[in-house]
Amino acid sequence: METKLVLLQHIKKDWSESPQAKICEEILEYLISYKNPEKLHLTYGIIKKILSNGYSDIHILQALQYLSGDRVPLLKSKFEMIDDCGDEYLLDDEDVAVAQKTGVLFHPEKEEVVEDFENKVFIYFIASDWVRANTVS
């Protein structure tokens, strides 16, 4: 398993002094200092709040995609749907992929077509196995 130093070297090599590098470093520091990584549920809004600078959305999104990849695996992306009643449902990646391809999403419990699902499905991030193994307790 790679060390924090090795991950920081990858970030520096891949992003140099770009805003994405700084975003990745800030998120890495946040993740390893979080006391209970199993309970992390990071929405885009939460991520924007933990970042120290007013980074652009595109830079944040690029950094999140990078941190969810194989090179610096800090985050795992997940999806949830919030229905018209405000109830939250976790979605499988496969269900979201099929919905994006076909334009149809079925409600996880009611098995009815979800109208306007694009505005009801949200991405969030959880800690990767690396973060769970390297968190300060």
Q: Where are the domains of the chain?
A: 4-75, 79-122
User: 69-78, 83-92, 95-104, 127-136: lowest mean pLDDT where?
Assistant: 127-136
Rounded Cα distance between 85 and 56, Å, is 32
Secondary structure letter of residue 68 according to DSSP = T
**If you search the block for the tokens 């924090």, which residue do you land on?**
4
CB 74 within 8 A of CB 27: yes
35's torsion region: left (phi>0), alpha (psi -120 to 50) or beta? alpha
* Model confidence pLDDT, tens digit, residues 89-131: 999 999 999 999 999 999 989 889 999 999 999 999 999 999 9
Report the chain's mean pLDDT, rounded to a whole number: 93
pTM beyond 0.85, yes or no: yes
Instruction: Using DSSP bridges, classify how beta strands 42-43 and 75-82 pair: parallel, antiparallel or unpaired.
Output: unpaired
